[in-house]
Each structure stands twice: as structure tokens, then as C-alpha cells.
Homo-oligomer: A and B are copies of this chain.
Amino acid sequence: MAKTITMSKTKIGSKINAKIGIFGATGAVGKEIIRVLHEKNFPMSRLRLFVSKKSAGKEAETEFGKLLLEDSEDADFGSIDLAFFAVSGEWSKKNAQKAVDAGCTVIDNSSAFRYDDNVPLVVPQINGDAVRGSKLISNPNCTTAIAALPLFEIYKKYGIRRVIVSTYQAASGAGSAGMDELKEQTAAVLVDKEAKKKVFQYQLAFNVIPHIDFFQENEYTKEEMKVVWETKKIFGDDKLKISCTAVRIPIFRVHCESISVETEKDVDIAELRNLLRNAEGIDVKDDTAENIYPMPLTATRKNNVEVGRIRKSLVFDKGVDFFVAGDQLLRGAALNAVEIAERIFGRE
């Protein structure tokens, strides 16, 4: 029978030996968090999986073997050192304070606290120090996290005047249900059957939907404004000019982004390529003579964000254009969350 797992062995010594809980453990992001913890051999004494009432009591096949799924409503946060929340913003809002009060540290993947001045919003490679002394940390939106890594390198070296982002976002942004819907719709369309929709506003198979999350008063979607608000907060620069057009396309789990930047200083393209090559979390895929550039095909299930098509801007006197592809469930969610946990435990 499955059980909550108890591990006695840790790679980096017994002082880090946390009891970990994953909330939303059977969702697309939850599953990836389990996988990343396993891949990193994350030091923990116990891993518990929490899910909604209807799945509680069942078992899940995981990288750690079969594990029991517990009802998240019954969770005793006092018995958990670190909780990953990969659930809805509503659930996070209802439970984060309760968890923190019980002594649990929470890494929240929802947008519930991202814009709260008292809650750090962290991409470890950029503002990892912000985790210090905080019991509640927000994980950024996937689109933000993927673009932030290369953008921050440009920001530090050349300064940024303005950033224009157009995204090519995968079905996985809407979770497992989104990926399933794309698969089912595609199979239906190929045989001229009706593409049934539930998750997305319209048929996504062989279509493009320039609409993710709710429209705001300024006619930008919340997804687009997340990139604006969150990049400013992560960079600690409220004056940063950045805009986004967020577009859903029929691919499974990698977000791509076409990014144009006006810089303060002139960009030496070869120098920038080297800078990015040496940056943590980035794979430079930029050899056009060999047809090497970022693609979902190569970035799927990869921890690093692929960056390529790096070239001088044609419209700004000083500026650079580039293209990124990053696994939405990894760099854009689970991996970033686990890396935040590593910072908290002083592992990195």
C-alpha cells in the first residue's frame, strides 16, 4: 500500500532535513515539483502530497514510488516545514496565513500574493536574497520567469529603456486539462469532427487565441499585465517600461517569446552571447548557419531557458531582439519554486 514517504538519507547533511508538502500534487505543476525534487535529490525527511477532497485517499505513482494523496483541507500545517502551493489563487489566499502561523514556510505558485509589498516575488538567479526572513514567497508567472533570466543579463550590462514582448504560449499554462483539451481537439479536427472546448475560450487546435486570463480596464489581459507588474518587482525597478501581448498557440508545454529591447548602452552581440552563455539557467541556442535557435521541440522538459535569434535592433539606435523558449512547467513554475526552496534552505 502507498504511504507518505519517509527518507532517512540526504545528500547535503542532516541539518537540512525538511518535511515537505505539495498542495495540488496531481496537477501539471505539482507533478513537476515532485519530479524536480527527485531530480535534485532535494534533502527532505518526508514528502506528503495534498489534493482536493475528491482525489484524497487514492494513491499516486511518483518518482519516489507510490504515495498516498491526502485531503488538503485536513492538512496540519504545523507538521510541514515547507509547503509548495500549486493550487488556485483563492485556495492560497485562504490558507497561506494559516500555514505561516503554524510555522510552515510557503512557496506559492498562484498570483494571490505576487503584488503584495510584504511578499517577495523571486527568481532565484535575480533576486534570490529576497527570500531571507520571509515565510511566504511568491513564484512568478511562467511568462515572466522565462523572459526574466535573459532580460536581467541585458539589464545589468547595458541598461534597459523599454521592452516589448510577444508570446507564443503553450496549452500547459492552463494545466493538465489544457494539454488534454489540445490533444483531444487536434485528434477531432484531423478527422473533421467537432473540437469540443471547455478550458480555452475557443478551439485551440490549429488556432491562435490572443487572450489569456481576464481583460483589464486598459484592454491588456491580466496575463500581459503580470509580465509588466512582476518584471518590475523582480528587477526592483518600478520605472522599467515593458509591454506584452500574450497569445495562446497549439503547442503542449513550452512558452516562446519574441522580445525587442531598447537599451541604454550599445549592445555588442557577440559579447551578449557570451554573457548569456555564462549565465545560470540559460542555454544559448544561436547558430543560424546551423539552423540552431530556441524551439519547444528542444526546450521541452529542459531546465534551462533557450535563448537565440540574438541580433541588433533595426528600429532602436541601441537595442537588441531575441527569442526564448522555456518549459512553462519547469523554469516557468516547478523548477523556479524548488530553486526558491533551495535558497530558503541555504542549499545554493
Establish whether residues A242 and B211, one from each chain, have CB atoms under 8 Å apart when the complex forms: no
A209 surroundings in chain B (CB, below 8 A) = 295
Q: At the interface with chain B, which of A52-60, A111-119, A162-170, A334-342?
A: A162-170
Interface flag for A274 (CB, 8 Å): no
Establish whether residues B211 and A314, one from each chain, have CB atoms under 8 Å apart when the complex forms: no
Interface flag for A19 (CB, 8 Å): no
Establish whether residues A208 and B258, one from each chain, have CB atoms under 8 Å apart when the complex forms: no
CB distance from A285 to the nearest CB of B (A): 10
Given A218-B312, A228-B314, A241-B315: A202 and B297 within 8 A (CB)? yes
Given A164-B260, A187-B190: A296 and B207 within 8 A (CB)? yes
CB within 8 A of A190: which of B190, B207, B208, B325? B190
Establish whether residues B166 and A166, one from each chain, have CB atoms under 8 Å apart when the complex forms: yes
Interface flag for A220 (CB, 8 Å): yes
Interface flag for A329 (CB, 8 Å): no
How many protomers of this protein does the assembly include? 2
- In residues 294-317 of chain A, which contact B (Cβ within 8 Å)? 294-297, 308-316
Given A228-B314, A251-B250, A297-B203: A256 and B219 within 8 A (CB)? no
Q: How far is the CA of A293 from the CA of B186 in the complex (A)?
A: 22
**23 A-B pairs with C-beta separation under 8 A:** A162-B315, A162-B316, A164-B315, A168-B168, A202-B291, A202-B297, A206-B250, A206-B252, A207-B251, A207-B297, A208-B296, A208-B325, A210-B258, A210-B294, A210-B309, A211-B291, A211-B293, A219-B310, A242-B314, A243-B313, A243-B321, A247-B258, A247-B323
Interface flag for A1 (CB, 8 Å): no
CB distance from A244 to the nearest CB of B (A): 8
Establish whether residues B210 and A315, one from each chain, have CB atoms under 8 Å apart when the complex forms: no
Apart from the given pairs A202-B297, A219-B288, 5 other A-B contacts in the complex at a CB distance below 8 Å: A164-B315, A210-B295, A219-B312, A245-B260, A260-B260
- In residues 192-251 of chain A, which contact B (Cβ within 8 Å)? 201-203, 206-211, 215, 218-220, 228, 241-243, 245, 247, 249-251
Q: How far is the CA of A321 from the CA of B245 in the complex (A)?
A: 8
Residues in A lying within 8 Å of B, measured CB to CB: 162-164, 166, 168, 183, 186-187, 190, 201-203, 206-211, 215, 218-220, 228, 241-243, 245, 247, 249-252, 254, 256, 258, 260, 269, 288-289, 291, 293-297, 308-316, 321, 323, 325
Establish whether residues A206 and B314, one from each chain, have CB atoms under 8 Å apart when the complex forms: no
Establish whether residues B315 and A215, one from each chain, have CB atoms under 8 Å apart when the complex forms: no
A254 surroundings in chain B (CB, below 8 A) = 208
A220 surroundings in chain B (CB, below 8 A) = 311, 314
Q: How far is the CA of A295 from the CA of B248 in the complex (A)?
A: 11
The residue on B at minimum CB distance from A257 is B166
The residue on B at minimum CB distance from A162 is B315
A252 surroundings in chain B (CB, below 8 A) = 206
Q: How far is the CA of A236 from the CA of B312 in the complex (A)?
A: 25
Most B CB within 10 A of own CB, among A166, A219, A250, A288: A166
Establish whether residues B208 and A295, one from each chain, have CB atoms under 8 Å apart when the complex forms: yes
Most B CB within 10 A of own CB, among A186, A187, A228, A312: A186
Establish whether residues A251 and B208, one from each chain, have CB atoms under 8 Å apart when the complex forms: yes
